Amino acid sequence: MAVARWPPIYINRLMPAAAAARQDQGRMVDAAPGRSLSRGGRIVDAYAALSRGDPDTFCRIHDAQVITVDPALGNPVGTTAVLAEHRSLLIAFPDLRYSVEQVIDAPPYTVARLRVQGTHRGAWGRHRPTGRLLSALLCEVCEWMDDGIVTRRRYWDRRAALAQLGLA
């Protein structure tokens, strides 16, 4: 079956994930039995799981050997690295929330623009807690193969985030 690459499907923050999934032409099967979601819908649900403090559910949409392209992290490979990253973030920012502001679904890619917010209450790498609020925009470009994300390319302003926390 041929997959149309255009037009991409735009999902914004005003459209609930379920409604967006119904409008998308992509067909993916979520971890929940009998529930079919688009790739964009799966991204929205995965970040909702992270906001609930559930990195294990977040990792279910990733291929076991997923590559995260983020020079600040050294480009880690595998879901074990994804789990470790998000577990450490939840220690540093226990109230961390991800708000998906926009999703562009253009197979085999899904692009998500997110706002990340949380209070720095635990160690984050070599940085001690500051008690300050972090609010940053993040863009993630995900490449899919079959039912999983094989590459995550992440773009965000790390220096601005550190400045908000009084660390730059």
Per DSSP, the residues of 67-125 read EEE-GGGT--BSHHHHHHHHHHHHHH-TT-EEEEEEEEEETTEEEEEEEEEEE--S-BT
CA–CA gap between residue 44 and residue 79 (Å, rounded): 18
| Residue 99 near residue 117, CB atoms below 8 Å | yes
Instruction: Find the mean pLDDT for residues 99-123.
Output: 95
Section 55-84 average pLDDT:
90
More confident residue, 72 or 128: 128
For the CA atoms of 112, 115, 121, 127, the dihedral, rounded to the nearest 10 degrees, stands at 70
Most confident of 5-9, 15-19, 77-81, 133-137: 133-137
Q: How does pLDDT run across 75-102, given as a tens digit for each residue? A: 888 999 999 999 999 999 999 999 999 9
Over residues 24-34, the pLDDT tens digits come to: 333 333 334 44
Contact 87, 132 (CB under 8 A): no
Q: Indicate whether 161 pLDDT > 60.
A: yes
Could you tell me the residue ranges of all domains in the chain? 10-164
Answer yes or no: are the C-beta atoms of 122 and 93 closer than 8 Å. Answer: yes
Give the predicted TM-score (pTM) of the model. Answer: 0.76
Architecture of domain 10-164: Roll (3.10)
